[in-house]
Amino acid sequence: MDMERVQAIAFSFMTEGRIPPEFIRSEKEQPAITTLHGYDPQIPTIDFSDPDEDSLTSLIAEASRDWGMFQIVNHGIPTHVINNLQKVGEDFFALPQEEKELYAKPPDSKSIEGYGTRLQKEEEGKRAWVDHLFHKIWPPSAINYQFWPKNPPSYRDANEAYAKCLRGVADKLLSRLSVGLGLGEKELRESVGGDELTYLLKINYYPPCPRPDLALGVVAHTDMSAITILVPNHVQGLQLFRDDHWFDVKYIPNALVIHIGDQLEILSNGKYKSVLHRTTVKKDMTRMSWPVFLEPPPELAIGPLPKLISDDNPPKYKKKRYCDYVYCKLNKIPQ
C-alpha cells in the first residue's frame, strides 16, 4: 500500500476535531480563506434534449469557450442507471479495508488503474483528503477487469450499463463541439481517437473531515482528458476558478457536469477552455463523485487542428503524444 488511506485516517480522527498536519493547506489554498461567497456566478445549465441542433450547438460551444464547464440536464441516461452506478461504488468503499486493497494500484504499475490515494506528487509532502478507484469502462479491448470490484456482485452490470448509456452522451457532445468549431459532426470525435477513445472512470471518495476549512479534496487542476463527464452525489464540493476567485458549483439533481479537458483546449487552439477546478470536503458528510475521462489512445499525437490554424491564428500549443502529455503533467514537467 502506498500510504495510509484517507478513509482510515478520517475514521481515526473522527472525534478529534483536528487533522494531521500534512492535510492542512497553505493559506493560499485553504477553502475558508479563498472561497468567494455572496456573488455567485453559475456555470451554464443546458437542456441536452433540445431538438433544435443549432441552438444546442451554440449553447455548448459558448459554455465551452466562456466557462470550460457546464451541466447538462435531460441527457437521456435513465435515473436508475446512474443510481445503480452510485450504489455499487458506495458499496465498494463500504467494504473492509483489506478487501478494497485487493484492487490497489500495483506499486510499479505504469497505468493509473486501481484503488489508490495519491495521484500526483505534491509540494512539501502535502496530502489531499480523498481516496479513489480508477478503471477503464470502454472500449472493451481497453478494459482490465482485475481493477473492477467483484463485490458488490452487481458492480460489473451497473458499470457496463452506465458505459453503454454514456457513449450516446459522449458522441452527441463531441458532435456538437465539433460543429461549434466549424467542423463536420464527426471530425472532433475522429481527432480524439474515434472508436479508440478511452473511457476512464474514477470514483472519488471524500470522507467526512474534522477541519473542512483547512483541507482540500482534489487540489486545483485542469483535467488532462479531452472531455470529462461527471456524476456527483448530493454533497456539494466542486469549485471552479474564475475572475481570480473560487466559486461553488451548484449541485443539480440528475445533471451531469461536463468539463472541457486539456486535449480539447489544445485541439481547438484555445477556443474551448480547460478550466481550473478543485474540491472541498464536508465535516459530517461523505462526498463522492464519478468522473469519466474521455481520453485519446496513448500513442495518438494531439495538437491544434490544422483546419483551425491560420496566419492570424497560429498554433498556441505543441503537438505531442497523449502519453507524453500525461507523463509531463503528472511529474510537473512543462509541456
Catalytic residues: 202, 221, 223, 277
Task: Tell me the angle at which helices 53-66 and 155-180 cross, rounded to the nearest 10 degrees.
Answer: 90
Smaller CB distance to ligand OGA: residue 223 or 295? 223
Q: Could you tell which of ligand OGA, Ni ion, none binds residue 193, using a CB distance below 5 to 8 A set by kind?
A: none
Region 269-328 residues binding ligand OGA, contact defined as CB under 6 A: 277, 279, 289, 291
Q: What does the binding site for Ni ion look like in residue numbers (CB under 5 A)?
A: 223
- Which one-letter amino acid corresponds to residue 240? L
For residues 25 and 126, the answer to whether their CB atoms sit within 8 Å is yes
Does the N-terminal peptide bond of residue 152 adopt cis geometry, omega within 30 degrees of 0?
Answer: yes
Q: Could you tell which of ligand OGA, Ni ion, none binds residue 304, using a CB distance below 5 to 8 A set by kind?
A: none
Nearest Cα to Cα of residue 229 among 271, 207, 268, 199: 199
Q: Is 261 near ligand OGA (CB under 6 A)?
A: no
Q: Name the closest residue to Ni ion (Cβ).
A: 223
DSSP SS3 for 231: strand
Q: Could you tell which of Ni ion, ligand OGA, none binds residue 231, using a CB distance below 5 to 8 A set by kind?
A: none
DSSP SS3 for 333: coil
Q: Name the closest residue to ligand OGA (Cβ).
A: 289
From the list 114, 207, 210, 232, which residue makes contact with ligand OGA (rule: CB under 6 A)? 232
What is residue 221's DSSP assignment?
B
Shortest approach of Ni ion to residue 186 CB, angstroms? 27
Q: What DSSP string describes 4-56?
A: --HHHHHHHHTTTS---GGGPPPTTT-HHHHB--SS-----EEETT-S-HHHH
Region 187-226 residues binding ligand OGA, contact defined as CB under 6 A: 202, 204, 218, 223
Shortest approach of Ni ion to residue 290 CB, angstroms? 12
Q: Could you tell which of Ni ion, ligand OGA, none binds residue 191, using a CB distance below 5 to 8 A set by kind?
A: none
Q: Could you tell which of Ni ion, ligand OGA, none binds residue 279, using a CB distance below 5 to 8 A set by kind?
A: ligand OGA
Smaller CB distance to ligand OGA: residue 240 or 305? 240
Per-position b or e across 278-298, b if 16+ CB within 10 A of its CB: bbbbbeebbbbbbbbbbbbbb
For residues 187 and 313, the answer to whether their CB atoms sit within 8 Å is no
Q: Could you tell which of ligand OGA, Ni ion, none binds residue 113, using a CB distance below 5 to 8 A set by kind?
A: none
What is residue 257's DSSP assignment?
E
Residue range at the interface with ligand OGA (CB under 6 A); choices 185-193, 231-239, 315-323, 324-332: 231-239
For residues 195 and 139, the answer to whether their CB atoms sit within 8 Å is yes
Shortest approach of ligand OGA to residue 219 CB, angstroms? 10
Smaller CB distance to Ni ion: residue 131 or 223? 223
Smaller CB distance to Ni ion: residue 223 or 265? 223
Question: Strands 238-242 and 277-279, how do they pair?
Answer: antiparallel
For residues 122 and 128, the answer to whether their CB atoms sit within 8 Å is yes
The 119-148 contact track toward ligand OGA, x by CB under 6 A, reads ------------------------------
* Binding interface with ligand OGA (CB under 6 A): 202, 204, 218, 223, 230, 232, 237-238, 277, 279, 289, 291
